[in-house]
Structure 1
Amino acid sequence: MNEFYEYFEKKFSKRRNLIDIVVEDDESSDFPREAQNLIDDGLLKFIVPISQGGELKGIDHLFTLGRCLARRNVTSAIAVGQCFLGSLPIWIHGSDEQKKRLTEILFESGLNCLALTEKEHGSDLSACEVIVKDTNGKRLLNGQKWCINNATKGKAMSVLAMGEVGPTLIFIDKEKLKEEQFSNIEKLRTHGIKGADISGIKFKDLELADDSFIGREGRALETIARTMQISRTLCSAFSLGAADTTFRDAINFSGTRVLYGETLNKRGSVRSLTSKALAYILASEATSISVTRMATLAPKFMALYSAVVKSFVPYMIDKQIDICKEILGARYYLREDDYPMFQKMVRDHSVISLFDGSMGVNLSIIASKFNNIKKHLDADEEYDFEEVYNVKYESIHFDGSTLKLSSRSLDFVFSAFNTLMEEDTRGVVFQVKTEIETLRSYIENVNDYTTYMARETSLRYCRIVTAINYLLFVKFNQESILPALSTDDSVQFVISTILEQSCDYQYDEEVFNHYRDNHLISHFNIGVSE
Structure 2
Amino acid sequence: MSTPLAEGPAGPAPDSAVPHLGDPGDLANPFSYARAAELDRVEGFPDEACRDLDRLGVPAHYVPVEHGGVLQGYDRLVSVVRRLARRDLTLAVAHVKTFLGAVCVWTAGEKEQRAALAARVLRGEPVAWALTEPEHGSDLFASGTVAEPGPGGYLLTGRKWPVNNATRSGLVCVLARTDPEGGPRGFSFLLVDKAALPSASFAHLPKVRTHGIRGADISGIAFERAPVPAAALVGRSGNGIDTVLRALLLTRTVSTGLSLGAADQALALTGGFVREGVAAGRPLLEMGRNRRILGRAHAARLAAESVVELAARGLHVLPGEAAVSAAVAKSFVPTAVDRLIADCADIMGARGFLTEHYEHGRFQKLQRDHRIVGIFDGNTFVNQHSLIRQFPVLARHRASGRSAGLAPLADLAETVPPLEPDRLSLVAHRGCSLVGGAADLAEQVAAAPAPPALAAAARRFGEQCERVHERIARTDPAAAKSPPAQAFVLASDYEACFAGAAALALWLHGHRREARGPQAHLWQGGLWTEAVLTYVGELLEQRDAVRTSAFDRLAAAVEGSAGGTLPSLIGDDAEGGRR
Short-chain TM bin: over 0.9
Pairwise mapping of residues 435-454 of structure 1 onto structure 2 (< 5 A)? Answer: 435-443=464-472, 444-446=474-476, 447-449=478-480, 450-454=483-487
Map Cα deviations across residues 271-312 of structure 1 (whole Å, 9 max, x no partner). 111101101001011111111111122222111110000000
Residue 31 of structure 1 is matched in structure 2 by 45
- In 1, the alpha carbon distance for the partners of 2:402 and 2:194 equals 48
Map Cα deviations across residues 84-103 of structure 1 (whole Å, 9 max, x no partner). 01111000110122112211
Residue 82 of structure 2 is matched in structure 1 by 67
Letter in 2 for 1:20: A
Match of 2:23 among 9, 14, 19: 14
Pick closer, same or farther for the CA change 1:395–1:441 going to 2, 3 Å. closer
- In 1, the alpha carbon distance for the partners of 2:408 and 2:152 equals 53
Pairwise mapping of residues 207-356 of structure 1 onto structure 2 (< 5 A)? Answer: 207-339=227-359, 340-356=361-377
- In 1, the alpha carbon distance for the partners of 2:462 and 2:375 equals 32
- In 2, the alpha carbon distance for the partners of 1:239 and 1:403 equals 24
Letter in 2 for 1:23: A
Pick closer, same or farther for the CA change 1:274–1:381 going to 2, 3 Å. closer
Residue 68 of structure 2 is matched in structure 1 by 53
Say whether the 8 Å CA contact 1:311–1:362 is kept in structure 2: yes
- In 1, the alpha carbon distance for the partners of 2:232 and 2:331 equals 33
Say whether the 8 Å CA contact 1:105–1:155 is kept in structure 2: no
1:430 equivalent to 2:463? Answer no
Map Cα deviations across residues 391-425 of structure 1 (whole Å, 9 max, x no partner). 11122344534322223134321354355444536
Map Cα deviations across residues 147-203 of structure 1 (whole Å, 9 max, x no partner). 100111011121111111501111111221110111000110001011111011001
Residue 499 of structure 1 is matched in structure 2 by 537
What is the DSSP-based 3-state SS (H/G/I as helix, E as strand, rest coil) of the residue aligned with 1:64? Answer: helix
Following superposition, the deviation at residue 270 of structure 1 comes to 0.9
- In 1, the alpha carbon distance for the partners of 2:411 and 2:269 equals 30
Letter in 1 for 2:49: E
Match of 2:501 among 458, 463, 468: 468
Match of 1:202 among 213, 216, 222: 222
Residue 163 of structure 1 is matched in structure 2 by 178
Match of 1:372 among 389, 393, 397: 393
Following superposition, the deviation at residue 236 of structure 1 comes to 1.4
Say whether the 8 Å CA contact 2:300–2:340 is kept in structure 1: yes
Following superposition, the deviation at residue 14 of structure 1 comes to 2.5
- In 1, the alpha carbon distance for the partners of 2:456 and 2:567 equals 27
Residue 480 of structure 1 is matched in structure 2 by 514
Match of 1:511 among 527, 542, 558: 558
Match of 1:407 among 428, 432, 441: 428
Say whether the 8 Å CA contact 1:105–1:156 is kept in structure 2: no
- In 1, the alpha carbon distance for the partners of 2:167 and 2:92 equals 18
- In 1, the alpha carbon distance for the partners of 2:387 and 2:140 equals 18
Following superposition, the deviation at residue 5 of structure 1 comes to 11
Following superposition, the deviation at residue 473 of structure 1 comes to 1.4
Say whether the 8 Å CA contact 2:274–2:284 is kept in structure 1: yes
Say whether the 8 Å CA contact 2:323–2:426 is kept in structure 1: yes
Letter in 2 for 1:477: G
Say whether the 8 Å CA contact 1:232–1:356 is kept in structure 2: yes
Following superposition, the deviation at residue 457 of structure 1 comes to 1.3
What is the DSSP-based 3-state SS (H/G/I as helix, E as strand, rest coil) of the residue aligned with 2:18? Answer: helix
Q: List alignment gaps of at least 5 residues for structure 1.
A: none
- In 1, the alpha carbon distance for the partners of 2:561 and 2:15 equals 17
- In 2, the alpha carbon distance for the partners of 1:257 and 1:318 equals 24
- In 1, the alpha carbon distance for the partners of 2:462 and 2:576 equals 37
Say whether the 8 Å CA contact 1:26–1:194 is kept in structure 2: yes
Letter in 1 for 2:367: V
Q: Which has the higher contact order (CA 8 A, sep 6+)?
A: 1
Map Cα deviations across residues 453-487 of structure 1 (whole Å, 9 max, x no partner). 22111111111111111111122121326233333
- In 2, the alpha carbon distance for the partners of 1:374 and 1:409 equals 10
What is the DSSP-based 3-state SS (H/G/I as helix, E as strand, rest coil) of the residue aligned with 1:272? Answer: helix
- In 2, the alpha carbon distance for the partners of 1:138 and 1:494 equals 54
Letter in 1 for 2:547: C
Say whether the 8 Å CA contact 1:225–1:405 is kept in structure 2: yes
- Relative to structure 2, which stretch is displaced further, 151-160 or 381-390? 381-390
Letter in 1 for 2:558: V
Say whether the 8 Å CA contact 1:89–1:224 is kept in structure 2: yes
Q: Considering only aligned residues, what root-mean-square deviation do their CA atoms show, in Å?
A: 2.2
Map Cα deviations across residues 38-75 of structure 1 (whole Å, 9 max, x no partner). 12443212211110011212111111111111000111
Pick closer, same or farther for the CA change 1:275–1:527 going to 2, 3 Å. closer
- In 1, the alpha carbon distance for the partners of 2:199 and 2:332 equals 43
- In 1, the alpha carbon distance for the partners of 2:514 and 2:15 equals 15
Letter in 1 for 2:413: K
Identity within the alignment, % = 28
Q: List alignment gaps of at least 5 residues for structure 2.
A: 1-12, 27-31, 180-184, 448-454
Letter in 2 for 1:336: E
Letter in 1 for 2:522: L
Residue 196 of structure 2 is matched in structure 1 by 176
- In 1, the alpha carbon distance for the partners of 2:203 and 2:357 equals 41
- Relative to structure 2, which stretch is displaced further, 372-381 or 183-192? 372-381
Query: How many pairs align?
Result: 526
Following superposition, the deviation at residue 338 of structure 1 comes to 2.1
- Relative to structure 2, which stretch is displaced further, 475-484 or 111-120? 475-484
Say whether the 8 Å CA contact 2:398–2:437 is kept in structure 1: no
Pick closer, same or farther for the CA change 1:390–1:15 going to 2, 3 Å. farther
What is the DSSP-based 3-state SS (H/G/I as helix, E as strand, rest coil) of the residue aligned with 2:204? Answer: strand
- Relative to structure 2, which stretch is displaced further, 71-80 or 135-144? 135-144
- Relative to structure 2, which stretch is displaced further, 99-108 or 422-431? 422-431
- In 2, the alpha carbon distance for the partners of 1:4 and 1:130 equals 40
1:526 equivalent to 2:560? Answer no
Say whether the 8 Å CA contact 2:82–2:257 is kept in structure 1: yes
- In 1, the alpha carbon distance for the partners of 2:370 and 2:343 equals 14
What is the DSSP-based 3-state SS (H/G/I as helix, E as strand, rest coil) of the residue aligned with 2:423? Answer: coil
- In 2, the alpha carbon distance for the partners of 1:453 and 1:188 equals 35
Say whether the 8 Å CA contact 1:182–1:202 is kept in structure 2: yes
1:363 equivalent to 2:384? Answer yes
